[in-house]
Amino acid sequence: AAPRAWPRQASQRASLVVRRARKKPNVKDVSFRVNGQITCTEVQLVGQQSFTSQYSDIEEADEMLPTSIALMQAQDRGLDLILIDEDTDPPSVIIGDVKKYIYETQRAMKQQAFDARVPKAKEVKMTYTVGDHDLLTKVRQMEKWMLNPRQEVKLILVMKGRAKMFEQQAMAVCQRMRDETAEFANAIGGDAMISKDGRGDLRMTFRSGPDKKLLKELKASGRQVTGRSQQAEASKEEAEEEEEEPPPAADSDDPLQQELAEVEQEIKEMREELEACGLKGSAIMSDPEMKDLTKRRQQVLSKMTPAAYGSRRLGARVGLPAGAL
């Protein structure tokens, strides 16, 4: 007799069976009936490989013809007659390279599956007595989550005990969270965006993407978002203090100094462009293009000798060309 499986081993086997049952269908199983496998007498030609493009582009077609004629046309071009839909009358076919068509179909299925994936909703919990620092920490966390264009975040304002007496203050906190996150998140639900659950907690759901309507209202009314606006202005002031004066003319004999001057000029132009778009402070520095430029600048500086970089900074202070020291 077979030895008795321990409960732990049996549990592991059961979970393995469940995982296998839930496994998604393999896109590698994609196949089509081609050429002699197509047994119908008449087909509808709905597409064929381009005559002019060097790639396997499929051009639209609309022609009803006997299967033997369609197969002959495909063979004359060294291609395959591919049955793509046998439920139509007559069945739909295309003329193309079956291997390339299977590859394109698999890639489209993978992309469709990826687009259909919805990330699990995140949760942010707080009380109506939350302080500015804690609230802005939650805002920054939401900003990171909202980098995923399909992300949803649920805001839960916990109302326990006597806190239920201060519902108006809690509503004000919800509105402030909406204002603080307007640049990268928008609350859904219209007029009923703030709801109350069975325990009395207030709830809001945010989706990724700026709340353009709210941003216009904030700008038109002159309202300031206390936390993020002050934080952004402080970051901007720090960046302006750290930013050096316009780079002096680079020494034509030193390619590294020339490259550094060019990168710094690009950084300056990019900053002006982003500010014109309404971005401020940390939002500018988190822009992907700005990150790339900053990284390039650091790479150039790492190649320069300390003496050369020091002389350049000193020359910038006294207004001398970079190679004058």
| pLDDT for residue 276 | 66
Using the structure block, give the residue that is written with the tokens 């216009």. Answer: 216
Query: Do 132 and 216 belong together in one domain?
Result: yes
195 CB-side CA count, 13 A: 12
Measured distance between the N- and C-terminal CA atoms of the chain, rounded to whole angstroms? 92
* Residue 207's CATH number: 3.30.110.10
Residue finishing a domain among 68, 92, 116: 116
CB 165 within 8 A of CB 114: no
Q: Are residues 111 and 201 in the same domain?
A: no
Token pair for 246: 């316009």
Residue 152's domain comprises: 122-221
Long-range contacts of 271-277 (CB under 8 A, 24+ apart): none
pLDDT profile of the chain (325 residues), mean per 10: 50 52 55 89 89 69 90 91 90 90 86 74 90 92 88 91 89 92 89 87 91 87 59 55 50 71 84 71 76 85 64 45 45
Q: How many domains, in total, are found in the chain?
A: 3
Residue 290 within any structural domain of the chain: yes
Chain center to CA of 63 = 42
Quick count: other Cβ atoms within 10 Å of Cβ 193?
16
Which residues have CB under 8 Å from 128's CB, separation 6+?
Answer: 157, 159, 163, 166, 169, 170, 172, 173
For residue 2, tell me if it sits in a domain: no
Name beta bridge partners: 58: 49
Residue at a domain's end among 93, 116, 139: 116
Amino acid at residue number 244: E
Quick one: pLDDT at residue 255?
77
Kindly report whether the global pTM for this prediction surpasses the value 0.85: no
